[in-house]
Amino acid sequence: MKFSASTKPLPRITAFCFLCLITALLSVKSVSANTDLPNSSTVTLEAISPLLTSKKFSDKQVAVEQIASSELTQKQQLLEGLLNKQIVYKKSDKSLWFLAQTPLKKGSKLAALSDGREQDVTKKRDYRAVSLNNKIRSEIRTQLATLSLLGDDLDAKRDGAKRLLGGIDSVLAERLPTIIENESDAVTKNTLIVALAISTLTNNSSKTSDKIQAVKTLEDSGLPDAYEALQSVNNLSAQDSELSKAITRALASFEEKQRVVNVAQTLYFGLSLGSVLVLAGIGLAITFGVMGVINMAHGELIMIGAYTTYVLQQLMPAYTGMSLLLSIPCAFVVSGLVGILIERTVIRHLYGRPLETLLATFGISLILQQAVRSIFSPLNRSVSTPEFMSGMIDVTPMLQLTASRAYIIIFCLMVFFALLFVLRKTPLGLQVRAVSQNRPMARAMGVRSEWVDMATFGLGAGVAGIAGVALSQLTNVGPNMGQAYIIDSFMVVVFGGVGNLWGTLAAGLSLGVFNKILEPWAGAVLSKILVLVFIILFIQKRPRGLFPQRGRMAEG
């Protein structure tokens, strides 16, 4: 069969028409795809809802991208809610709701994202939480971190920068240099530089020279995340000898810096423990060192100061910081009055008889413990830490110190120098020193020794109450808390030199540091035993302690 000339081009025409049809279909699909990604000004909850409630994770990925680039007022709430499983939808109409508290159950509080109206869940099966996969969660974290970097909240910017450590995608990596250049906060800027360096180092497509520069940046940063990134890449860099050598040097430098940081942290913890010992022992240094009274109820005077702090905080629950500051003078007065009562009723009849004084004050300690149990119950009570004492102090990226311990150290020094001023520069201090050195001569000069004894014992008891305020920030307040510090207080006083305040300070701080140095390899209990053995041996060599003080105890 022969075809005419007019019929031969038909296959070509058909093919051409088919090609045009395919092109048109692709164009329509492209336009449809583009309409799925509207600009930031046209994104609405109504448009996002079908994507978030879809069963396809790809649709939810598109929804997250649209939310992040939108100008929705609920943008932050949506992203954080998705991450925390707080975004749920109603199965009947696919409307989005915010769940006040997870998990979703009957009676849960819901708030509509569209208009904010609230309602309770009557039937759990009517709602379902928006499910996500790990990829979308990582994307949301990145978007939240990026949003926080563009805000004005300094703490949010720093937290957002930390979230990006080890979690930067290729799109954000391209935008990050501009964000770093425009960032004014030094801490945020350094964190972002490290995050970008980690991204460069872990990216297989990065050049070797760029990776080596990233290694140097990470080495100088001192951040733990930088060290972890170097360790993770170390085994994979064996094929590149130059990069492997750079990583090995950086890891060695990191480990050397970490050893220095560990020593600094040990000294800091030792000083904070020593400050507690000084606060607990400095009141005893007055009653035992100056007056020669073995007061076994000293720990209970500390306990009274701690309970005073607890009571004030219960009276002022909304003002934690103010109640703590007010508890310092109140604890001094309350414990001081209890000390004066003990001295006037019991101890004044037992001067010169140390064994009877020991037994009497031990009985008083049991009475005070039982009184506290009857008033507050035997259960331990917790005292909240004020906001200004919470958190960490960033000395370097590698060295972070607990803020509360720093306040304890400063508070200890303030109490010490205030007490030193009272004993050296006031009439009371002059009379206390006169009576402690030569009681008959002081009486001959007109000093009322009985009044001085009462004031001195009250002063020592009041300082013990102040120590209880500090200890309430480090441990729970309970009837037995004073027993944990009475032995340590006597060790500090005896080791430093009976009656010498400077010796008490030096002894407390040195014993605290010594204890913390021993703890890593000896353990907490054995280290205390070793410290006690050391003091016993030291007292055998120097019975009067580090700084001998001339006084009634020395002369006796």
Task: Measure Cα distances from 405 to 322, 417, 447, 474, 504 in Å.
Answer: 19, 19, 41, 8, 19
> What local confidence, expressed as pLDDT, does residue 2 receive?
42
Reading the block at residue 279, the tokens are 């606060």
Please give the Cα distance from 231 to 446 (Å, whole number): 76
Contacts 24+ apart (CB under 8 A), 312-317: 313/383, 313/384
pLDDT at position 107: 85
The pair of structure tokens assigned to 518 is 């021993």
pLDDT of residue 409: 92
Q: Give the span between the Cα atoms of 22 and 29, in whole angstroms.
A: 11
What is the rounded distance in angstroms from the CA atom of residue 348 to the CA atom of residue 39?
Answer: 86
CA 368 – CA 483 distance, rounded (Å): 12
Could you list the mean pLDDT of each consecutive 10-residue stretch along the chain, which spans 556 residues? Answer: 43 50 43 42 76 86 83 80 86 86 85 84 86 83 75 76 73 76 81 84 79 85 81 68 83 87 89 88 79 84 93 88 92 93 89 84 92 90 85 80 89 91 86 77 81 87 91 88 83 80 87 85 79 81 70 44
Q: What letters, b where the CB count within 10 A reaches 16 and e where it falls short, cover 382-397?
A: ebbbbeebeeeeeeeb
* Beta carbons of 297 and 357 less than 8 angstroms apart: no
Q: Which two tokens stand for residue 123?
A: 């039937």
Residue 139: per-residue pLDDT: 79
**Closest to 492 in 3D by CA, of 405, 401, 402, 412:** 412
CA 375 – CA 343 distance, rounded (Å)? 23
Tell me the C-alpha distance between 290 and 456, whole Å.
8
Look up the pTM and report it.
Answer: 0.70
Distance of CA 550 to the CA centre of its chain: 45
Other Cβ atoms less than 10 A from the Cβ of 269: the count is 19
Bridge partners of residue 393, in order along the sequence = 401
Q: Between vectors from CA 208 to CA 202 and to CA 213, what angle results, nearest 5°?
A: 80
Q: What pLDDT was estimated at residue 507?
A: 87
Among 97, 91, 93, smallest CA distance to 114 is for 97
Predicted local distance difference test score (pLDDT) of residue 339: 92
Q: Quote the CA–CA distance of 327 and 333 in Å, as a whole number.
A: 10
Across-strand partners of 97?
A: 88, 112
Dist. CA 459–CA 431, nearest whole Å: 13
Question: Tokens 């509080």 appear where?
Answer: 109
Backbone φ, ψ for residue 547 (5° rounding): -125, 90
The per-residue pLDDT for 95 is 86
CA 550/CA 353 separation, integer angstroms: 20
pLDDT for residue 55:
84
- pLDDT value at position 330? 94
Cα 354–chain centre separation: 45
